[in-house]
Structure 1
Amino acid sequence: MKKIAVFGLGAMGYGIASSILRAGHTTHGFDVVPEQVTRFQANGGSAGALTDVAGSLDAVAVVVLNAAQTEAVLFGDDAIVPQLPAGAVVLACATVPPNFAREMEQRCNAHDVHYLDAPISGGAGKAASGQLSIMASGTKAALDAAKPVLDATAETVFTLGDTAGAGSAMKAVNQLLAGVHIATMAEALTFGMTQGVTPDKFLEVISKCAGTSWMLENRAPHIIAGDFTPLSSVNIWPKDLGIVLDIAKSAQFSAPITTTALQQFVEAAKMGLGGEDDSAVAKVYARNTGLTLPSEKE
């Protein structure tokens, strides 16, 4: 059994930490929200200050929001990488630009620490059940060192190359589709409402037809229930689709559908919905058309 730390105990990170703990590893959880750390320790997570445990860690999973937060964990004020023993591995799970992943790999290697570019997909439910899809790229040594974490958290591990960057490139492709699918689901659901199609009937029928998608089947129930508790928030998408468009610009690639979807999430954030579930982008369409969505839960 290994000693592993998870940085970031949000919806995804908490599930990942719980899956690692369930696999029998000594698991530490760290987060800027102290209550999340306390909760994880109450559920079996190991206690201990970072400075006390870092030198004995075999692996670190960084499950934060973006590149800036990833860099802060690895090389910021309380930098974890210089404290890790030689041969430890960092699994970086946030959606970040490929060039950033390559830079982090080089900086980790300078400390004799392996770096695995390991963005994740599957949502909070699959994180908690250890059934994520992980788009991994890195050296064979990094993959080998990360295997206990991958085995505990993933149903499918795609190995995409022997250097960092390829995993993040694939995640950008996935996020392009996922963000577009959520916005399109919201557009289709509210369009149906203008024609007398209720949201619950929309889901019943379209989920069995060619127009369905995983995102439609996963997010439409949130709208039907009127429950916008954030499992994946609106605020994630201006970041992730922004990364997609930055990569597209560097490749001189036009991505007009992504641009349009991005604007819907930006508008949702302007409406004060940034902290709500990303299915709340439907409220943009409802506002613009004068529709009334199912009431939110008290």
Structure 2
Amino acid sequence: MAGSTSKIAVIGLGSMGLGMARSLLRAGHEVSGYDVTAVAIAALAEAGGRAGTSPADAAADAQIVAVVVVNAAQTEAVLFAADGIVPAMAPGGVVISCATMAPAAAKALGARCAEQGVLYLDAPMSGGAVRAGSGELTFMASGTDEAFAAARPALDAMAGKVYELGDEAGIGASFKIVNQLLAGVHIAAACEAITFASKLGLDIAKVYEVITASAGNSWMFENRVPHILDGDYAPKSAVNIFTKDLGIVSDIGRAETFPLPIAASALQMFLMTAAAGMGRDDDSSPARLIAQITGIDLPPAKTA
């Protein structure tokens, strides 16, 4: 099927899902989509996709459906609710499940799809909105050979790299949760470091320049600190994403009697930021929390 036109639906048209839909359209696929917000649906229509009136309507006769929602509960609802996608899909179709969730939840969803004759690819992704829009995401995927084959036309359009990590759902989710442990810790560390630099009286723009050319740099430092320098806390990825994802990490650690002290500290930083009213703001907002607590000055936050 690679290189041919497929009928593909994208459910969840946030910054990631909309970018993925645009990449699919650019590759020549017939794309429909659904989101709970009218603005997102309008953006898909403007890009050339078909705006569905419900998940089921968007997925009607689709060969592939990418589910790009926040968590396992939303994924379950999109798949199996009264207006869900599973009964509406084309026979033999495949669900590409992209939400970060606990491995056990991915396994359970995969089993339910199999019971109803639908293939399921456990395929959380990484790369951010820019790479979603350019078709260069990294997918950490697991599922049957049949699921990979059925999903290939969409993956070819959306991904720069697809890791095929195993033959059953839950493995991809496990890889993604390790990634999110590191991502959350690195963001928290970046926020702590740049505010510490401000406390020392340093020019934080110059700190950014120096650190990004030094051994202390990380992808998250390089990507998120510009949000702080610009005072731009419009959510590219929200604080609440990391209260969820690091919460999953914490739950798994507790269940496995495995200590995760650094991840736990990062989780507390995101929880404090959410409790201070910034849960829906950009995940670089822990820097603002630290600034408020310590009385340091950061570039003023832009207002909408």
TM beyond 0.5: yes
The match for 2:227 is: 222
CA contact (8 A) 2:34 2:58 kept: no
Question: Of 177, 180, 183, which residue of structure 2 is paired with 1:175?
Answer: 180
The match for 1:41 is: 45
Q: Match of 2:215, as an amino acid?
A: A
SS of 1:230's equivalent in the other structure is coil
Q: Match of 2:37, as an amino acid?
A: V
Superposition pairs for residues 11-50 of structure 1, below 5 Å?
Answer: 11-50=15-54
- Where structure 1 has 5 or more consecutive residues not aligned to the other structure, the ranges are none
The match for 1:85 is: 90
In the TM superposition, what is the alpha-carbon distance from 1:251 to its structure 2 partner? 1.6
In the TM superposition, what is the alpha-carbon distance from 1:52 to its structure 2 partner? 5.0
The match for 1:258 is: 263
In the TM superposition, what is the alpha-carbon distance from 1:284 to its structure 2 partner? 1.5
TM-score (norm 2): 0.95
Question: Of 149, 154, 173, which residue of structure 1 is paired with 2:154?
Answer: 149
CA contact (8 A) 2:57 2:88 kept: no
CA contact (8 A) 1:86 1:111 kept: no
CA contact (8 A) 1:137 1:165 kept: yes
2:36 is the counterpart of 1:6? no
Q: Distance in 2 between matches of 1:124 and 1:5?
A: 18
**Seq. identity, %:** 52
RMSD: 1.1
Moved over 3 A (4+): 47-55
The match for 2:299 is: 294
CA contact (8 A) 2:34 2:51 kept: no
In the TM superposition, what is the alpha-carbon distance from 1:83 to its structure 2 partner? 2.0
Superposition pairs for residues 280-291 of structure 1, below 5 Å?
Answer: 280-291=285-296
- Where structure 2 has 5 or more consecutive residues not aligned to the other structure, the ranges are none
Total equivalences in the alignment: 298
The match for 1:135 is: 140
SS of 2:83's equivalent in the other structure is coil
Q: Which moved more, 1:132-141 or 1:41-50?
A: 41-50
In the TM superposition, what is the alpha-carbon distance from 1:48 to its structure 2 partner? 4.8
In the TM superposition, what is the alpha-carbon distance from 1:55 to its structure 2 partner? 4.0
Q: Distance in 2 between matches of 1:173 and 1:52?
A: 35
Change (3 A) 1:150 1:282: same
The match for 1:205 is: 210
In the TM superposition, what is the alpha-carbon distance from 1:164 to its structure 2 partner? 0.5
The match for 1:192 is: 197
Change (3 A) 1:206 1:75: same
TM-score (norm 1): 0.97
Q: Distance in 2 between matches of 1:45 and 1:17?
A: 8
CA contact (8 A) 2:33 2:52 kept: no
